[in-house]
Structure 1
Amino acid sequence: MNIDEDLLYSFGGEDRVYKKKEMIFKEGDHAQYYFQIVKGKVKLNNYNEDGKEFIHNILGKNQSFGDPLLFLDQTYPYPMNAVCLEGSEIIRLPKDHFIEMIKKHPNLSLEMNACFSQQVYFKLIMMQSMSAQNPIQRLKGLLNYLKSYHDGDCTHCFTIEFTRQQLANLTGLRVETVIRTLKKMEQGGDILFKDRKILY
């Protein structure tokens, strides 16, 4: 979701600057803010009992996070961490101001519902892919999910900005498996490599 910055500021939004690797919130913290990225990149992640990282999403400019929990009556804890992958500037709006803004601008609620619905749909598609044993199917599910945030339907025009390790953490595969699978996908014409970037 991308809300007009001036509107966020008019309801008490404040700019926060974070350094690379700085945590915005951690798993277990209570949801108190709407966050929208002005510049930078943020990953949503957590770790299993063995310390292996699982990345839920990587977000960039004009994307928001933390908002679904703000609509719940009770204050629920975050089920994941939000960590900056690079120096980032983020607008932070307190929960009560966010709810007031939604009440005064109900069209935002419809836009958010559409955004949440798209997220749920593609999360379900991605979950189906993640349950597959075939690594190509897993990676295709992830790439389709990432491409769903991109305008337009074209072949090899969407640049995957993630490292091989990040793709592994997003799919639960080993990085060596990801590297081998990407080579197979290139041979099959599913992706192209250009300047070490993946085009899907």
Structure 2
Amino acid sequence: MTKLNLLGLLENHALFRNISPIDLGELQKEVVKIELEKGFMLFRKGDIAEATYIVVYGLLKLSIPSSQGNDKVLELIRAGQSFGEAMMFLDEPYPFYAEALENTLLLKIPRAALLQLLDRSPLLSRQMMAGLSYRLLGFIRNVERYSLQNATQRVIDYLLQTSAIQCTNEVRLELKKHLLASLLNLSPETLSRVLHQLMDEDLIRVSGSIIHIGSAEALKTYQHGGMPLH
């Protein structure tokens, strides 16, 4: 594995910007690198929340397990994002599991080390509160989306957002279609019908896990004016 500049990664992460070099240097000593192969679990539901994690590269999904096998996907965590902060303050086990969808490298920041830094740095406390607030806002927007948008609008919203993240009109689906349906709060059958509808309208082309968007503007127009599919 290529040698990492841990201090540089911490300095450039939104959570630790403007933190003193001395404090970051001390924190760096406690950071642990974790490599996960695709399909491996970082933690399971019920495990003790003992750290905050930063994704250096790769992709993780956070999901609630189901005995029927239809796990509920809560969120995708991409490179540069952090997670696990909120659970540290609750002293509760994880209510979800984290699984690598690609080969993934993470930085594990132990709970005790981060809490000590929070005691010394009011600025870090404010930055962490801002991050948690942003995450909460994201969940509220998801609830709003599921409540107010029809199936077609949700799928188009996902395609446009993922296209923007990947900086291409050749969108690579990050999840298998049944997991993507779970993320969008749809049944797999409904997701398939929506994709076929968009193909019939010549708005997208599907080739395996790649979806080609002909025109983002045309897709946006259809999102707001196309016939809804429930």
Partner of 1:10: 28
CA distance, structure 1, for counterparts of residue 14 and residue 205 of structure 2: 30
1:162 and 2:174 correspond:
yes
Report how many aligned residue pairs link the two structures: 192
| Greater helix fraction, Structure 1 or Structure 2 | 2
For residues 27-58 of structure 1, what are the alpha-carbon distances to aligned partners after superposition, in whole Å with 9 as ceiling and x for unaligned?
11111111111111111012234221111111
**Displacement of 1:108 after TM fit?**
2.4
Partner of 2:225: none
In the superposition, relative to structure 1, how do residues 143 and 121 fare at CA in structure 2: closer, same or farther (>3 Å)? farther
TM-score by length of 2: 0.68
Greater Rg, structure 1 or structure 2?
Answer: 2
1:96 and 2:108 correspond:
no
Partner of 1:174: 187
- Amino-acid identity (%): 24
1:80 and 2:80 correspond:
no
**Displacement of 1:67 after TM fit?**
1.1
In the superposition, relative to structure 1, how do residues 38 and 133 fare at CA in structure 2: closer, same or farther (>3 Å)? closer
Q: Secondary structure at 1:98's aligned position in 2?
A: helix
For residues 41-90 of structure 1, what are the alpha-carbon distances to aligned partners after superposition, in whole Å with 9 as ceiling and x for unaligned?
11101223422111111111111111111123xx1011100011122111
**Displacement of 1:101 after TM fit?**
1.9
Cα-Cα RMSD? 3.4
CA distance, structure 2, for counterparts of residue 11 and residue 57 of structure 1: 30
CA distance, structure 2, for counterparts of residue 61 and residue 104 of structure 1: 28
**Displacement of 1:106 after TM fit?**
2.5
CA distance, structure 2, for counterparts of residue 188 and residue 109 of structure 1: 49
Q: Secondary structure at 2:79's aligned position in 1?
A: coil
Flag the structure with more relative contact order, 1 or 2, with Cα contacts below 8 A and sequence separation at least 6: 1
Match of 1:19 among 22, 37, 52: 37
Gaps of 5+ in 1: none
Gaps of 5+ in 2: 1-12, 217-230
CA distance, structure 2, for counterparts of residue 194 and residue 138 of structure 1: 17
In the superposition, relative to structure 1, how do residues 47 and 142 fare at CA in structure 2: closer, same or farther (>3 Å)? farther
CA distance, structure 2, for counterparts of residue 108 and residue 143 of structure 1: 34
Partner of 1:32: 50
The letter for the 2-side match of 1:96 is A
Q: Decide whether the 8 Å contact of 2:30 with 2:109 is kept in 1.
A: yes
The letter for the 1-side match of 2:195 is L
